[in-house]
Amino acid sequence: MSAAPPPCLRDILSKSSAYLEQRKIDSPRLSAELVVAHALGLERLDLYLDLDRPLTEQDLSKIRPLLARRGTGEPMAYILGRKEFYGLKLVVTKDVLIPRPDTELCVDAVLGLYQPDRPLLFADVATGSGAIAVALLVHLPAARCIVTDISARALTVAVKNCEAHGVRDRVLSTQADLLTHLAPAALDLIVANPPYLAESEFSRISKEVADFEPRIALVAGVRGDEYFDPLVEQAMAVLKSGGHLLLETGATQAEKLAGDIRSRSEQWSDIKVLKDYAGLNRYVQARWCPLR
């Protein structure tokens, strides 16, 4: 009796996709293609150039563990170890939130405020992977940035991303609770995508997020607004006159936060609520103009 022929790429893609579908994983075929391509060191589209390629036992042994991870619901970005943000390839590990497309609008909002050649010192608070800082520094070549995070492991990832995109020499990284320890009246801009989920929302979000992304990157106390107040308070001390604050929030939080900033001090001006791609109120921008 002759031995069965080895499986080819086509067979493995369809078996992997069926396995992920049975495990109720989103986009099973796409996930299967990404896992197989990554395991074999190929680009996804390369798979289609060689669908009849027979796979060796060594190939299969690289594919199986990654497929099993995807089968548990682990996000693709953690399996690949990377995620694209603002057109830049970023390293991501389980120590950081996977940067979201919505956060790209924070970058757009800042780029709408400053000319590229303007020297600028800004802070990316709660930087995680460093997504916002890296994107801004790439597009603002005269800017310098302080990245802060409470998580030392997240800061390691942020620094790696700064290195990978050639902006490390313009970054100071500091493990800190929000903006503590920063010098008074030093910053032109503060941008932050802090945690903003309420405890109760966390129990309702998708398992892919809740089971794999760091809780510390997502939850902000019982009501989800634990970080906004201290951030606004600290911003009043560390922003220069005329400096901007830009915060990402949940869809039900932005209007309230804008109102809180307005009533906290008349020295906040140009307070705006900005919308995301879905038309939801998701960002609050304000300008610190202290009276002389």
Q: Does 132 help bind ligand SAM (rule: CB under 6 A)?
A: yes
> Going residue by residue from 87 to 116, which x/- string records binding to ligand SAM, judged by CB under 6 A?
---------xx-x---x-------------
120 versus 146: smaller Cβ distance to ligand SAM: 146
Cα gap 149→270, rounded to integer Å: 27
Cα gap 49→59, rounded to integer Å: 17
9 versus 82: smaller Cβ distance to ligand SAM: 82
Using DSSP's 3-state secondary structure scheme, residue 158 falls into helix
Could you say which of 129, 161, 173, 285 contacts ligand SAM (CB under 6 A)?
Answer: 129
Alpha-carbon dihedral 119, 123, 129, 132, rounded to 10 degrees: -60
128 versus 243: smaller Cβ distance to ligand SAM: 128
Single out the segment in contact with ligand SAM by CB under 6 A; choices: 18-26, 46-54, 68-76, 124-132.
124-132
79 versus 158: smaller Cβ distance to ligand SAM: 158
Q: Does 217 help bind ligand SAM (rule: CB under 6 A)?
A: yes
CB of 63 within 8 A of CB of 82?
no
Could you say which of 16, 17, 127, 281 contacts ligand SAM (CB under 6 A)?
Answer: 127
Residue 276, token pair as written in the block:
């995301």
CA 22 → CA 19, 72, 78, distances in Å?
5, 11, 21
Q: Does 126 help bind ligand SAM (rule: CB under 6 A)?
A: yes
Question: What would the DSSP string read from start to end of 97-127?
Answer: PPPPGGGHHHHHHHHTTS-TTS-EEEEEET-
CB of 220 within 8 A of CB of 195?
yes
Cβ 1 to ligand SAM, closest distance in Å? 56
Q: Does 13 help bind ligand SAM (rule: CB under 6 A)?
A: no
CB of 195 within 8 A of CB of 248?
no
CB of 66 within 8 A of CB of 35?
yes
Could you say which of 121, 150, 185, 251 contacts ligand SAM (CB under 6 A)?
Answer: 150
> Going residue by residue from 179 to 208, which x/- string records binding to ligand SAM, judged by CB under 6 A?
--------------xxx-------------
Cα gap 157→91, rounded to integer Å: 7
Tokens 């804008």, residue? 258
Cβ 232 to ligand SAM, closest distance in Å? 14
Q: Does 161 help bind ligand SAM (rule: CB under 6 A)?
A: no
Interface residues toward ligand SAM, by CB under 6 A: 96-97, 99, 103, 126-129, 131-132, 148-151, 154, 177-178, 193-195, 216-217
